[in-house]
């Protein structure tokens, strides 16, 4: 794991945008895994800024989102499709035909939908860089604690904690979905690189469990300890429960030198 600690959330977003840009420049047909939630919004704002300043183009980019609510119409403002359109896709030159979410509408079989999503990712050549947030309970995607570490895209029932954490995003009149389709943990682990962003004090314990706890289905993000290329971008608050800050900072300095000389990525 490469652990990078920044002073604030804005620097986390700028750094994440650099990783995305690095990928877009490196590959002719990059495949990007995307996340929703509050954390990556500032990353998407950065990418839109860079696109507007002619610093990057998304014409050849294919995207796969981590998750989507079960049985929600994509036009529903609460759908993750709407979130992605609003926060990124409507503002850059991406072809929406190349943007995918693990949808499952009312009459559809979630098991078949999950398999079809896995196939689609394979057909695209696999995910080069997967953006992740982390739940306060250690979830990645909607892989809640106790999710199988070898799971694939499927339907999951959200925990009470996740429902409570996300209830801030729903008005009293809106019905909050309790089930969602999500990439599995093995699907995420197949990505060539994973870039997890975490900001804010409420993520500090989950971040500590992910980095220094035992690998366990009780903290699904801890599986990233087994990923060959996992980069963890933290602000000071999210890193506040970690002990070895000076080592992480020292290692980051060394890695920066390597990145400057050889680029961010290898083995694409
Ligand atoms: C979003 C997702 C979730 C979020 C996590 C953190 O697509 O899969 O795992 O990344 O719940 O959400 P925020 O960023 O809102 O704290």
255 token code pair: 């890695």
Atom of ligand 1 nearest to the CA of 37: 15
The helix or strand, by DSSP H or E, that contains position 206, with its residue range, turns out to be helix 204-212
Cβ–Cβ < 8 Å for 196, 231 = yes
CA angle 194, 195, 200 (to 5 degrees): 140
DSSP assignment letter at 128: S
Q: Determine the pLDDT at residue 106.
A: 85
Q: Determine the pLDDT at residue 182.
A: 98
The Cα 28–Cα 20 span in angstroms is 13
Instruction: Tell whether ligand 1 has an atom less than 6 A from the beta carbon of residue 147.
Output: no
Question: Mind listing the pLDDT tens digit for each residue in 69-127?
Answer: 999 999 999 999 999 999 999 999 999 999 999 999 988 999 999 999 999 999 999 99
Instruction: Tell whether ligand 1 has an atom less than 6 A from the beta carbon of residue 137.
Output: no
Q: Hey, CA dihedral for 42, 46, 47, 49, is it positive or negative?
A: positive
Cβ–Cβ < 8 Å for 78, 72 = yes
Atom of ligand 1 nearest to the CA of 139: 9
Residue 143, SS3 per DSSP: strand
Q: Determine the pLDDT at residue 196.
A: 98
Instruction: Tell whether ligand 1 has an atom less than 6 A from the beta carbon of residue 38.
Output: yes
DSSP assignment letter at 158: P
Pick the closest to residue 191 from 141, 251, 138 (CA basis). 141
What is the CB neighbour count within 10 angstroms for residue 73? Answer: 13
Q: How far is the CA of 109 from the centre of ligand 1 (A)?
A: 25
Q: Average pLDDT by consecutive 10-residue portion of the chain (268 residues)?
A: 97 97 94 98 98 95 98 94 98 98 94 98 98 97 97 96 92 92 98 98 98 98 97 98 94 92 80
121: buried, middle or exposed (CB in 10 Å: 19+, 13-18, 0-12)? buried
Catalytic residue flag (residue 218): no
Q: What is the mean pLDDT of the chain?
A: 96
Atom of ligand 1 nearest to the CA of 39: 14
Instruction: Tell whether ligand 1 has an atom less than 6 A from the beta carbon of residue 156.
Output: no
């Amino acid at each position: 794991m490469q652990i990078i600690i920044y002073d604030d959330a804005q620097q986390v977003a700028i750094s994440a945008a650099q990783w995305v840009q690095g990928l877009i420049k490196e590959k002719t047909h990059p495949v990007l895994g995307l996340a929703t939630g509050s954390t990556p919004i500032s990353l998407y704002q950065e990418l839109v800024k860079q696109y507007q300043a002619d610093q990057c183009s998304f014409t050849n980019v294919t995207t796969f989102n981590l998750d989507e609510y079960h049985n929600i119409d994509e036009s529903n403002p609460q759908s993750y499709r709407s979130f992605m359109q609003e926060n990124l896709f409507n503002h850059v030159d991406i072809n929406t035909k190349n943007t995918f979410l693990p949808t499952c509408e009312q009459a559809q079989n979630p098991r078949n939908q999950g398999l079809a999503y896995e196939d689609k990712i394979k057909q695209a050549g696999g995910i080069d860089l997967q953006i992740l947030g982390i739940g306060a309970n250690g979830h990645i995607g909607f892989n809640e604690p106790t999710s199988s570490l070898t799971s694939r895209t499927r339907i999951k029932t959200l925990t009470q904690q996740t429902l409570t954490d996300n209830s801030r995003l729903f008005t009293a009149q809106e019905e909050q979905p309790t089930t969602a389709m999500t990439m599995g943990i093995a699907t995420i682990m197949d990505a060539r690189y994973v870039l997890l962003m975490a900001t804010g004090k409420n993520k500090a314990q989950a971040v500590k469990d992910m980095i220094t706890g035992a690998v366990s289905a009780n903290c699904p993000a801890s599986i990233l300890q087994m990923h060959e290329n996992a980069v963890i971008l933290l602000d000071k608050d999210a890193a506040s429960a970690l002990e070895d800050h000076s080592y992480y900072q020292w290692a980051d300095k060394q890695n920066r030198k390597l990145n400057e000389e050889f680029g961010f990525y290898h083995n694409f």
